[in-house]
Amino acid sequence: MKTSLATPLAPFTSLQVGGPAETLIECSNIEETMAALQDEATKHPVTLLGFGSNCLISDKGLPGTVIVWHGGSMDEGGGIVIVDAGVWWDDLVKFAISKNLWGLELMSEIPSSVGGAIFGNIAAYGQQVSDTLLYVEVYDKVSMAVRRIDASDIQFSYRASSLQSQPELIILRAAFKLSPTKLHELRYAAAVSVAEELGSDIETLAGRRAAIIETRRRAGSLYHPNDGHGQRTAGSFFKNPMVSTEKATMLASFDESGKTLERINEQNRIHGGDSHRASAAHVLLAAGFSRGQTWNHVRLHPDHVLKVETLPEATAQEVYEVAQEIITTVKHKLDITIVPEVRFLGDFS
């Protein structure tokens, strides 16, 4: 465990922007994190930060104590995997696959800690965290006690969980009930096409993972926190919005890959659970935004319009203002409300 004062938080995020933590505590396991929580939660505001891959931290920084937790343990027995919240999500996926267990493989290489993955109910290619989650153990900052919450007592929806409205709860550990046999079909056309090109057998865990990773690579969606040359994005910046049938059809015309309306609707169902949950990328294109569009030190990624990328010397305020311009323009031009998937932490003017 390492403690420091007035420490910049930008290096701890994928966007590489943001001000300092008043106090920063870096932890590598659940014991250190628990000790930090028990010592700090009664004195100061506490923010738990995993790998910072889905957040925008204000240039003013964060008051109180920021706990950065990287690492933890994983154990398996009888198809149940118990994992600490500070573990890198893809390490859990690889661990499950090494045990020949199905249920997480379609979410390979999503950048997140396990705790962040549960908090945001991450999903990809027709699979989501809540599908196999059994329970979580949380630390309650109010009662200062650890308790278990069954997955059935957590409300999950598209990119959301009821834990997001319970800031007093810190996820410490989770259990997943996985299967020795396949749980989900891979129907996402782009991934199936990549698998055919690679000669990967998507009826095997290894073949399926290879196809998913290559699909994500081609979409510019791979990120590793220790890669100093990685892309400075937070992945898809906005959630896919719900729209009318008429607007869903209109938005589909902005698809750049030549897919049919039927294929796009199927893709929307797989990604968002509903054919009316339109691609936010299509929304931005329909509103007149374009890949590579630049505002000073911020741009939309050249390969993916939905990824907001910071350039050298960018500030968090610049990213925030670009996001607000996009939200306002989309509402004005299309009468569609888009909501950031990225969490804004701290004070933005």
Per-residue pLDDT tens over the stretch 118-130: 999 999 998 999 9
Which of 69, 95, 117 terminates a domain? The answer is 69
Asked if 170 and 80 sit in the same domain, the reply is: yes
Please give the tally of structural domains in the chain: 4
Asked if 113 and 202 sit in the same domain, the reply is: no
Output the domain CATH number for residue 30. Answer: 3.30.43.10
User: Torsions phi, psi of 305, nearest 5?
Assistant: -60, -20
User: Torsions phi, psi of 270, nearest 5?
Assistant: -65, -45
Output the domain CATH number for residue 152. Answer: 3.30.465.10
Asked if 79 and 31 sit in the same domain, the reply is: no
Task: Among 54-63, 180-189, 220-229, name the one with the lowest average pLDDT.
Answer: 220-229
Residues 139, 7, 314, CA angle at the centre, nearest 5°? Answer: 110
pLDDT at 264: 66
pLDDT in tens, 256-303: 666 666 666 666 666 666 657 888 999 999 999 999 999 999 999 998
In a domain, 78, yes or no: yes
Helix (H) or strand (E) holding 149: strand 145-150
Q: What percent of the chain has pLDDT over 70?
A: 93
Asked if 199 and 245 sit in the same domain, the reply is: no
Asked if 253 and 310 sit in the same domain, the reply is: yes
Total-model pTM = 0.92
Q: How confident is the model at residue 182 (pLDDT cuts 50, 70, 90)?
A: very high
289, two tokens: 């935004």
Rounded Cα–Cα distance for residues 157 and 34 (Å): 29
Asked if 126 and 207 sit in the same domain, the reply is: no
SS3 content of the chain, % helix, strand, coil (to 5): 30, 30, 40
User: Torsions phi, psi of 9, nearest 5?
Assistant: -95, -15
Phi-psi label, residue 169: left if phi above 0, alpha if psi -120 to 50, beta otherwise: beta
Which of 69, 88, 120 terminates a domain? The answer is 69
pLDDT in tens, 238-248: 999 989 888 88
With CA atoms as reference, report the closest residue to 47 among 69, 75, 15. Answer: 69
Q: How confident is the model at residue 27 (pLDDT cuts 50, 70, 90)?
A: very high
pLDDT at 44 over 80: no
Stretch 200-211: mean pLDDT? 96
pLDDT at 295: 98
Q: What residues make up the domain containing 206?
A: 189-218
SS3 call for 302: coil
* Residue at 139: amino acid letter: Y
Rounded Cα–Cα distance for residues 20 and 6 (Å): 5
Asked if 82 and 100 sit in the same domain, the reply is: yes
Which of 69, 92, 127 terminates a domain? The answer is 69
Output the domain CATH number for residue 241. Answer: 3.90.78.10
In a domain, 226, yes or no: no
**Beta-carbon contacts of residue 297 (< 8 Å; ≥ 6 apart):** 310, 311, 312, 313, 314, 315, 318
Asked if 83 and 173 sit in the same domain, the reply is: yes
